[in-house]
Amino acid sequence: MTTHLSAPPALELVVLDMAGTTVLDGGVVETAFQRAAERTGVADGMPWDDALAHVRATMGQSKIDVFTHLAGGDRAAAEQATAAFEGAYAEIVAEQGVTEIPGAADAIQGLKDAGLTVVLTTGFAPVTRDALIDGLGWSDLVDLALSPVDAGRGRPAPDLVLTALIRTQTSAVASVAVAGDTVSDVESGRRAGAGFVAGVLTGAHDSSALELAGADVVLPDVTHLRSALAERALLALAPSA
Ligand SMILES: [Mg+2]
């Protein structure tokens, strides 16, 4: 017998990361970083292996913050490198196209069918974010997409999650679920007070890193999110159509 001391809050909003969570990355971010570094010399002050290790560890954070570190605090150099990164990312998208994490669009639609609002968040600038969304044909699928510039600070700060809550008029932080592939995604969800935070294994970081960051659960991919929410009675599983 199960005793419920209090009913869990009704979930209203799901905040999903883009690259590595809903959008297949396939090394595109790393390649774009490499092109930006080559074109601007932003990481010339450190061994490339160290720069790449920093890029991997900080995956999910605001790109300007990552480049500011690589540039040794030189904000102007970081801004130039960020512009080069966005340009390189757009080139690669044009060369290779954009691919969803398999099943992501259906998963998002399933969350919406369950009555939830779905917001995408990213560390990319709006121009890159919108190129991805247009490439996937998701403009009408998601309710909103946010970049760090729309929110204030990038991840791991809570700003993107809290801005999603405010913009969608969600009732409470406990009514928000967050899912992402990086430690920064999980930390931003925890810092925002989200009621449920999931890590996914389709991107940058592994299960132990995501659990250590405070994930309530680590899922193979975003297609498992809806059932994970239903298992915790955060969501009523709609009868299968
Ligand atoms: Mg990501």
In a domain, 7, yes or no: no
Tell me: do 142 and 222 sit in the same domain.
yes
Tell me: do 118 and 224 sit in the same domain.
yes
Output phi, psi for 40, to 5 deg: -115, -15
Tell me: do 161 and 219 sit in the same domain.
yes
Q: Tell me, what DSSP letter sits at residue 222?
A: G
Ligand 1 centroid to residue 178 C-alpha, Å: 12
Ligand 1 centroid to residue 230 C-alpha, Å: 24
Domain stop point among 96, 112, 133: 96
Tell me: do 122 and 89 sit in the same domain.
no
Ligand 1 centroid to residue 133 C-alpha, Å: 14
Q: Name the residue range of residue 41's domain.
A: 28-96
Ligand 1 centroid to residue 56 C-alpha, Å: 11
Tell me: do 152 and 219 sit in the same domain.
yes
Tell me: do 127 and 214 sit in the same domain.
yes
Ligand 1 centroid to residue 121 C-alpha, Å: 9
Tell me: do 55 and 113 sit in the same domain.
no
CA torsion, ordered 152, 116, 184, 66, to nearest 10 deg:
-50
Ligand 1 centroid to residue 97 C-alpha, Å: 18
Tell me: do 55 and 33 sit in the same domain.
yes
Going residue by residue through the chain, which has 241 residues, state the pLDDT in tens, using 9 for 90 and above: 555 556 666 899 999 999 999 999 888 888 999 999 999 999 898 899 999 999 988 888 888 899 999 999 999 999 999 999 999 988 888 888 899 999 999 999 999 999 999 999 998 889 889 989 998 999 999 999 999 999 999 899 999 999 999 999 999 999 999 999 999 999 999 999 999 999 999 998 999 999 999 999 999 999 999 999 999 878 765 544 4
How many domains does the chain divide into? Answer: 2
Ligand 1 centroid to residue 144 C-alpha, Å: 17
Ligand 1 centroid to residue 3 C-alpha, Å: 37
Domain stop point among 96, 121, 154: 96
Domain stop point among 71, 96, 121: 96
- Distances in Å between the Cα of 5 and the Cα atoms of 10, 37, 66, 82, 93 are 15, 54, 44, 49, 50
In a domain, 90, yes or no: yes
Tell me: do 64 and 175 sit in the same domain.
no
Ligand 1 centroid to residue 24 C-alpha, Å: 9
- DSSP-assigned beta bridge partners for residue 200: 219
Please give the helix or strand (H or E) that residue 59 lies within, else none: none
Tell me: do 67 and 175 sit in the same domain.
no
As a whole number of angstroms, the distance between CA 23 and CA 42 comes to 27
As a whole number of angstroms, the distance between CA 8 and CA 233 comes to 7
Tell me: do 105 and 209 sit in the same domain.
yes
Is 38:31 a contact under the CB 8 Å cutoff? no
Tell me: do 48 and 113 sit in the same domain.
no
